[in-house]
Structure 1
Amino acid sequence: MKIFISSVRKGLEEERSALKGLIRSLGHTPVRFEDFSAQPTPSREACLKALETADVCLFLLGPFYGHVFPETGQSATHDEWVAAQAAGMPRIVYRKQGVVFEPDQHEFVRVVEAYATGVFRDSFHTSVELMTKVVQKVRELESGASPLAFARLVEQPSMHWASVGAATRSVSSHDAVLQVHVVPLDFPGYSARELDQLSASLMDRIRATRMIGGDIALNPIASDEYVAVGVAASRPPSRGTPQGGKLVECRLYKTGQLSTLATLPRDDLGSILDPDALPQQLAGLLRFSGALSIIQTDRIVVAAGVSTEALVSVDIFDPRHSRQSAQPMGLGRARRPLRTEPDESVTLAALGAGAAEVAPSLAQALIRQASR
């Protein structure tokens, strides 16, 4: 197992040095920027590439924020946090006690500690205390224990299924829309003031996930039931070229439900429910929902659906070539939308480390319905 160690060095020199030997003694490979050889790429890019090869990311939060890169307006550790978050990578976070945090670091710690999707967060005073805690967490990761915990629903929560119409302006009539809904349990909903505050920050939260390109326009959408942001298409699709699935809208309802809408992959013969690609797309939307750092309740209900106004078929998506033939579902009769029927709640880790475990069951349920 490769364990990427992310932190500034200043103020954490002793801890970073001790972790290298400890991780090796546990039979794993530590990855630190100090150990990188000379490379032709910038140091920030080299660190992010190294993080992509890791299995786990271990974050140390000390008093200093670190150098701010002009490309992102963030420190290297902050960039690495966003990258690990987007990848759904297991993260172990330790905050040093007994030190004074500078303002930028205090704000970064607030962001990290507000994100409650399966992240191991703890604190330490000394390097000896840190080593003891790291050994325990690494052993837990070795055991392969799932961060998820399911429970049967006693009562179905109220759920809004998105109507795909004028709101999703970047969706053409040829696109089927995939919906992922997250409903927090035991949540009273938002007051008008709270919803206004979240509406004002929603675009910034979406940008902060780094899952949407900086050149993609975001458009606020007004509604009586929810606040939303539409994601513009990066470029008009060219005829004859297959199109991958794209995020098109994010909605936050007064009730606390968070919904993301995305197009399914499509080619000239319509939208495609790909048994291999659909779980990956669903997992990405779950991680995106978690990365917004909005839902904080311990337990949630997750559901998914697909609009069927456009032609949809269960098939394999090939980004290089359009299909020569297809068998669209429900052709010649009214097509009901595909929807999963949740009967369990799950821990909030479903929006992070557990997304890859939750997504396949959602995908299988949708594909079974489409096949019938």
Structure 2
Amino acid sequence: MKIFISSARKGLEDERDALDGLIRALGHTPVRFEDFSAQAIPSREACLRALESADVCLFLLGPFYGHVFPETGQSATHDEWVAAQAAGKPRFVYRKEGVVFEADQHQFVRIVEAYATGGFRDSFHTSTELMTKVVQKVKELESAASPLVFAKLEHQPAMHWTSDDTDSQTVSNHGSGLEVHVVPLDFSGYSARELDQLGASLMDRIRATRMIGSDVALNPIRSDGYVGVGIPASRSRSWNTPEEGEPVECRLYKTGQLSIRATLPRDSHGAILDPDALPQQIADLLRFSGALNIVQADRIVVAAGVLTETLMSVDTFDPQRSRQSSQLMGFGRSERQLRTEPDESVTLAALGAGAVEVAPHLAQVLILQARR
């Protein structure tokens, strides 16, 4: 389990350092900005990406608010709180008592405490007291039942796939396409009016997730059967620079299906199906789907697919440098699609806390198909 530790360091130095060793001793992985190595991306972006990969977020509230970023007008901890909330991450908050909070921190604490009620909010006076409470919380998480409940499907619902499209080449124009689909069960679909209203709110919903950069221009898409938003690449790179996968389109169909399409990681040798990175990317897209707050059905069906291309391989993606050689999968000149064929429905938790449990199976099916 990855546990992201969020707080200003000033005023909480001892607590942050003690938590690092404690979490490792419990057999889990702490994620702190102190441990980040040099990276090509801005520090703020690196922290938010690390948060996205975490299973649990632990927030410490001390006397200081922290540096205010001009891009957001907020501190790093405040940004991380918003991002964790949007992604549906489990958040556990511990407030330090016996210290005087500066004005900005006092305002932030009021925001946090408005959401963090019951078991999500606790306090401590000393590092020792905090360690004891964190151990107890981690043990609770280890023994907690999975939020996911699976059930066999009596029949597969109708599902839209990229390879079936005749009117859009959005993903193909960006490179190889990964797509994740969410279909609500026992849903009668949207009326034309409802779909128009959701389409009008879709860009704001995407912005609210904080999973897309504020500098990225979004493009509305409208068709007879769906509404959508195109998401241009967040950065321009040279042909031989490795590129991480990123969302390029969000669609909401009249049937109720929600689809997120993304590029795969790639370098100068082409697109990469990385057995380690693919589950994480699918989990991120599932959480992105949940953060839009559109699908509300009790049970859903999730599926994933990859539109292949000639220069594609199952390999390890290195964001720092391109591969020197690669073994292509030999898909040929014509595109074809790898697809998971769902035979189970699952509870809505698959779009939040359960995403990390659902994604590995979807990724494994796609990797096996590619290797065959």
Q: Same fold (TM over 0.5)?
A: yes
Partner of 2:357: 357
Partner of 2:144: 144
Give the TM-score of the pair, scaled to structure 1: 0.67
Partner of 2:299: 299
* Conserved? CA contact 1:57–1:91, under 8 Å: yes
CA distance in 1, matches of 2:226, 2:185: 18
Partner of 2:173: 172
* Conserved? CA contact 1:168–1:248, under 8 Å: no
Partner of 2:328: 328
Partner of 1:286: 286
After superposition, residues 185-224 of structure 1 pair within 5 angstroms as 185-224=185-224
Partner of 2:251: 251
Distance 1:252 1:57, change over 3 A: farther
Secondary structure of the residue aligned to 1:284 is helix
Task: State the 1:345 CA deviation.
Answer: 0.6
Give the TM-score of the pair, scaled to structure 2: 0.67
* Conserved? CA contact 1:176–1:307, under 8 Å: yes
Partner of 1:226: 226
* Conserved? CA contact 2:227–2:252, under 8 Å: yes
* Conserved? CA contact 2:171–2:263, under 8 Å: no
* Conserved? CA contact 2:221–2:228, under 8 Å: yes
Percent identical pairs in the alignment equals: 68
Distance 1:329 1:170, change over 3 A: closer
Task: State the 1:159 CA deviation.
Answer: 0.7
* Conserved? CA contact 1:178–1:307, under 8 Å: yes
Distance 1:78 1:148, change over 3 A: farther
* Conserved? CA contact 1:57–1:84, under 8 Å: no
Distance 1:88 1:280, change over 3 A: farther
* Conserved? CA contact 1:271–1:310, under 8 Å: no
**Cα-Cα RMSD:** 4.0
Partner of 1:23: none
CA distance in 1, matches of 2:248, 2:333: 28
Secondary structure of the residue aligned to 1:251 is strand
Q: Which runs of 4+ in 1 moved over 6 A?
A: 1-6, 73-78, 120-123, 136-139
Is the aligned partner of 1:311 residue 2:311? yes
Segment drifting more, 351-360 vs 156-165: 156-165
Distance 1:169 1:257, change over 3 A: closer
Unaligned runs of 5+ in 2: 8-21, 24-43, 60-68, 94-110, 120-135
Secondary structure of the residue aligned to 1:172 is helix
User: Which amino acid in structure 1 is aligned with residue 324 of structure 2?
Assistant: Q
User: Which amino acid in structure 1 is aligned with residue 323 of structure 2?
Assistant: R
User: Which amino acid in structure 2 is aligned with residue 200 of structure 1?
Assistant: A
CA distance in 2, matches of 1:54, 1:265: 22
After superposition, residues 1-372 of structure 1 pair within 5 angstroms as 55-56=56-57, 72=72, 81-85=81-85, 88-91=88-91, 141-163=141-163, 167=168, 169=170, 171-172=172-173, 175-332=175-332, 336-372=336-372
Segment drifting more, 224-233 vs 154-163: 154-163
Segment drifting more, 246-255 vs 137-146: 137-146
Task: State the 1:194 CA deviation.
Answer: 0.7
Unaligned runs of 5+ in 1: 7-26, 29-44, 59-68, 94-107, 113-119, 124-135
Secondary structure of the residue aligned to 1:213 is coil
> Alpha-carbon deviations, 1:33-55, whole Å to 9, x = none?
xxxxxxxxxxxx9xx99x95994
Segment drifting more, 158-167 vs 341-350: 158-167
Distance 1:240 1:56, change over 3 A: closer
Task: State the 1:222 CA deviation.
Answer: 1.3
